Chains A and B, each alone.
Chain A
């Protein structure tokens, strides 16, 4: 850009200052948006967590009352457990599936482009459509999944979204299917960066395919895996849309997740203080997990 053109001689300080200005002016449009639409609300919600506010009347300071209410609220704990359940299912399954498909589709196969695209489709499909179609597939009486299960001799297939036991696995299944394409692309990019010589050398040494996967592919992909893990964890904990459309947290509260509690308490019931307190807890959980993952990554890099 024009900025890099040699300018008339100036003092070092002057140049640095004007460079800073130019730098700021470049990130300013984006940063302003971030500051106004994200940073300020986040800080405000930190304060709101200690207030009682219905979005209209004057906020009232209530100290830790919101958190106290949360600790004694059964629904909060149910939602927290369900969110953890979802994350524990969603993160490893998506990660393994994405890695598996990436390795598979990194080969020279006929129609590999087609399969790569096909696996990416769910990710760009409207989420509401995805959820509705999965609901139909998993319908207890008429759904093709259960018809198939009956055909292969399972007399009492699970009730999926209508059963408290199977609703969460059904949601996890749909979400893994949806997200795997995106993370597969990330892994594919990672795989391209592994030098071919490593595999050749290993082959010369007589390493089997399995050994090559564990000793070359997996370690070389560590930065990618780390990134995928972080992104997956964060997205798992803030899952909302899929659950909202597929089960609305039901049956009962069996798939109720924290972001739904935040939405219901805040937007629907107008208890923005309490809802902010819950979102603070969610924030702290995600932050802690991310920090722990960073530490772990740093240690294993040494």
Chain B
């Protein structure tokens, strides 16, 4: 009897383990207790990304019969997590497309619901970044947000050096370099760098590609040369923090700019919302402004680069209509207004929405900032193609070698071209 008991117990334990593993499937009917339709939206860092909350609240107000439930994912893990979710047949209704490369992968695999008809209703002249979602004439996502690069500057440091802010309105990269050199001061712990360029390759490479008209996937990278030479020259002269230090210490660009350790900093518009929030909470006291990204020539034309963010509908969604409604609302004027009010640059750019943005407390609303927000052209940061991520990896690796001085500029550029041609065929 006793022996029998042991066997039974062991078997039960094993069974319990099995069922425990198998549990946790779909969580019910998709409705709240008061009969609202539940709509799940995959997004990242909900607490620190204000526009998600703004969009969700705005949408719920406009559609009282729908209850939006955010599925919060860590920003760094977002792409991998969503890939895994989709592979596992997850039915989260709306997916945020964090970058265009992932979007094209999901779209071409048929994991997203086509939104071509919805996209055609939008005005491509005003919906900035829409064309990035064109996959052979089909659209699977609608952008609600468009970030692009501007030049942030520290007003206090500029004033101390006696530099007029209007000088930044029409700045060339040569002018930027000269200005940065003159703004560098101090030593050791008190050192103030004239400029800070974050360790990302895009700071150099995407700028060069957008402004010199180069193709990042092309396999011929001579067009990087001017931008690299200027950057390396500034680094050599101590105007920029050495790339190696910034990288090995994992220095964040926010640390550099928000504590007044750098006077000028090219960075994406997303940083403005962070600065707004941190200024409001008292985390930073830096007096900041925004200017257009410096250009190769001072002919008044502003070309910058950026990337849109979009919402898409999961093919496995059981509430496609509600999900589509959400995606359309986020891309609409009402959605854009909500996004702008959160201090983030919406994809839909009309004068009314720009005015909403500049009316926010804390946003620098001088002429320089306003011109920064009306770039002539925003080039997509990384062109979409099935080789984009492979090329990206190579460009990142060679960028490191050039910036740490492990390879000379010419050797590094030659190696980039060689590797992209050989390894990504």
> CB within 8 Å of B: which residues of A?
1-3, 5, 7, 18, 21-22, 25-26, 28-29, 32-33, 36, 54-57, 73-75, 132, 135-136, 138-142, 159-164, 249-253, 264, 267-270
Contacts and interface: CB of A to CB of B under 8 A. Distances in A.
B18 A32 contact: yes
A166 to B, nearest CB: 11
Contacts of B5: 2
13 contacts: A18-B3, A18-B7, A22-B3, A25-B6, A32-B14, A141-B242, A164-B401, A164-B406, A249-B397, A250-B397, A251-B401, A253-B397, A264-B393
B80 interface: yes
Contact of A74 (B389, B390, B406, B422): B422
Interface of B: 2-3, 5-7, 10-11, 13-14, 17-18, 21, 79-80, 83-84, 86-87, 105, 109-111, 242, 244-245, 247-250, 389-390, 393, 397-398, 400-401, 404, 406-407, 419, 422-423
B400 A21 contact: no
A116 to B, nearest CB: 32
B342 to A, nearest CB: 30
Contacts of A270: 83, 105
A25 B389 CA distance: 48
B104 to A, nearest CB: 12
A139 B110 CA distance: 46
Nearest to A246: B248
Contacts of B406: 163-164, 251-252
B245 A142 contact: yes
Contact of A21 (B7, B242, B404): B7
B201 to A, nearest CB: 12
The secondary-structure label for the interface of chain B is helix
B87 A75 contact: no
Contacts of A160: 248
A297 to B, nearest CB: 36
Chain A CB within 10 Å, residue with most, of B3, B17, B80, B398? B3
A73 B394 CA distance: 13
B245 A140 contact: yes
A269 B245 contact: no
Going nearest first, the 8 A-B pairs with the smallest beta carbon separation are A25-B10, A162-B244, A55-B87, A252-B401, A251-B400, A28-B14, A2-B2, A252-B397
B10 A22 contact: yes
Given A28-B10, A268-B80, 9 more contacts: A5-B2, A7-B3, A28-B11, A54-B109, A74-B419, A135-B248, A138-B248, A140-B248, A249-B397
Contacts of A159: 244, 404
A171 B245 CA distance: 17
Given A25-B14, A252-B400, A269 B389 contact: yes
B411 to A, nearest CB: 11
- Of B10, B13, B245, chain A has the most CB atoms within 10 Å of the CB of B10
A164 to B, nearest CB: 5
A225 to B, nearest CB: 36
B77 to A, nearest CB: 10
B198 to A, nearest CB: 15
Contacts of B105: 270
Contacts of B7: 18, 21-22, 25
Given A5-B2, A264-B393, A270-B105, A162 B404 contact: yes
A208 to B, nearest CB: 46
A264 B14 CA distance: 36
Given A74-B419, A252-B400, A267-B80, A3 B6 contact: yes
Contacts of A138: 248
A73 B248 contact: no
A2 B398 contact: no
A30 B80 CA distance: 29
Given A56-B87, A139-B245, A268 B2 contact: no
B248 A161 contact: yes
Contacts of A25: 6-7, 10-11, 14
A164 B398 CA distance: 12
Nearest to B80: A267
A73 B3 contact: no
A74 B80 CA distance: 25
Given A140-B244, A159-B404, A268 B79 contact: yes
Contacts of B86: 56
A159 to B, nearest CB: 6
A250 B393 contact: no
Q: Which of B79, B87, B242, B422 has the most chain A CB atoms closer than 10 A to its own CB?
A: B87
A2 B419 CA distance: 67
Contact of B249 (A55, A75, A136): A136
A1 B6 contact: yes
A160 B401 CA distance: 14
Given A32-B14, A251-B406, A268-B389, A162 B423 contact: no
Contacts of B17: 29, 32-33
Contact of A139 (B83, B111, B248, B397): B248
Residue picked from A22, A25, A26, A264, most chain B C-beta under 10 Å:
A25
Given A2-B2, A252-B401, A135 B423 contact: no
A22 B244 contact: no
Contacts of A5: 2-3
A135 B419 contact: no
A162 B249 CA distance: 10
B423 A55 contact: no
Contact of A3 (B3, B242, B393, B407): B3
A264 B389 CA distance: 10
A74 B400 contact: no
Contacts of B14: 25, 28-29, 32
Contacts of A32: 14, 17-18
A175 to B, nearest CB: 17
A139 B241 CA distance: 13
A21 B92 CA distance: 44
A56 B423 contact: no
Contacts of B13: 29
Contacts of A251: 244, 400-401, 404, 406
A163 B5 CA distance: 64
A29 B21 CA distance: 12
A157 B102 CA distance: 42
A283 to B, nearest CB: 23
A162 B423 CA distance: 25
A264 B396 CA distance: 14
